Amino acid sequence: MTTRPGSLDSPRFPRSSCYHPDWIRSNVSGGAHSLWLTEWLSEVVDLRPGLRVLDLGCGRGASSVFLRREFGVQVWSTDLWFSVDDRAQRIRDAGVEDGVFPIYADARALPFARDFFDVVVSVDSYVYYGTDDLYLGYLARLVKPGGQIGIVGAGVVQETPVDPPPHLRRWWEPSLACLHSPQWWHHHWSRSGIVDVERADAMDEGWRLWLQWQHAVAPGNEPEIQALEADRGRYLGYVRVIARRRHDVELDDPITSVPVVYQRQPLLAGDSPTARRPVTPVPAPEERA
């Protein structure tokens, strides 16, 4: 399944292997090979020329370029952490500016219309905001009824105990609590009633590809490499979840403000509505007796 340590090729992902390793390295924006994960996700997401795709949390935009080149979709390449100008130049250099549109936006404040997208994908990003119980309802408004939402990224193949296993403790930090299993995601999305989950699974031997990626781009990252070598897929791996927005569910717009009508009322018992009192200390009840 894998090749020599440090290689960015994998027979498991022939499309990704066509891209130059220097280009891949120059687009690193996270802890995973975004093309491998995008290709794995594309195996179970309907991608056809002309469809509108939101690539949410796209980093430097490698996944957006890949989606456009490989499937002919139109991509709204959206990220908060990385410069939109830098991403625009990368998109132009890749020759896909006719169908990849760089957007700078927070995942919780997206500037898109309801039902605008045919598909939403998120590659190694969704865990940073999507564990919120209310987030799926917010995001699903942007995809057409019947459209798909697909996420993929680092995760765990089974939920970790409250205290990380001993072999993971050197690498583990509090923020890694966002890593969840396919079963957790299936329950998390299904209980909303907003989508029908079509697949939630872990990549076969995904930890080996995770380890191969680390050897290729961060060989000095000993804590993570040693954790993967010790774990050998017991917990760590790659996870994907694909769901389809239900036709029979109406989604509310997010609440951004609460309209109120103020009507003046008496402040204290015995006051008239128009009474105005100076701001003076009020004696405690026992002092008034």
The H-or-E segment that residue 41 falls in is helix 34-42
| Helices H / strands E in the chain, number of each | 9, 7
State residue 152's pLDDT score: 98
Tell whether 151 is covered by a domain. Answer: yes
pLDDT at position 2 over 50: no
Q: What's the half-sphere exposure (Cβ side, CA atoms, 13 Å) at 117?
A: 27
CATH number for position 169: 3.40.50.150
Average predicted confidence (pLDDT) for the chain: 93
Query: Could you tell me the CA-to-CA distances from 112 to 5, 105, 108, 141, 240 in Å, in that order?
Result: 42, 10, 11, 10, 24
Tell whether 158 is covered by a domain. Answer: yes
5 Cβ partners below 8 Å, 6+ apart?
Answer: 212, 215, 216
Q: Per DSSP, which regions of 74-142 are E strands?
A: 74-79, 100-104, 117-123
The H-or-E segment that residue 151 falls in is strand 143-156
Query: What 3-state DSSP class applies to 68?
Result: helix
One-letter amino acid for residue 76 of the chain: W
Q: Would strands 236-245 and 74-79 be described as parallel, antiparallel, or unpaired?
A: unpaired
Tell whether 11 is covered by a domain. Answer: no
Query: What 3-state DSSP class applies to 58?
Result: coil
Query: What distance in Å separates the CA atoms of residue 78 and residue 116, rounded to the nearest whole number?
Result: 14
State residue 272's pLDDT score: 82
Tell whether 85 is covered by a domain. Answer: yes
Domain that holds residue 28: 16-261
Tell whether 60 is covered by a domain. Answer: yes
Beta bridge partners of 74: 52
Tell whether 32 is covered by a domain. Answer: yes
State residue 5's pLDDT score: 54
Tell whether 3 is covered by a domain. Answer: no
**Cβ atoms of residues 106 and 138 within 8 Å:** no
Give the residue-averaged pLDDT of 250-273. Answer: 84
Query: What distance in Å separates the CA atoms of residue 155 and residue 111, rounded to the nearest whole number?
Result: 28
37-41, 100-104, 209-213, 279-283: least confidently modelled range: 279-283
The H-or-E segment that residue 56 falls in is strand 52-56
Total Cβ atoms within 10 A of residue 85: 10
pLDDT at position 93 over 90: yes
Q: What's the half-sphere exposure (Cβ side, CA atoms, 13 Å) at 20?
A: 5
Greater model confidence, 85 or 5: 85
The tally of domains found in the chain comes to 1
Give the residue-averaged pLDDT of 167-194. Answer: 96
Tell whether 278 is covered by a domain. Answer: no
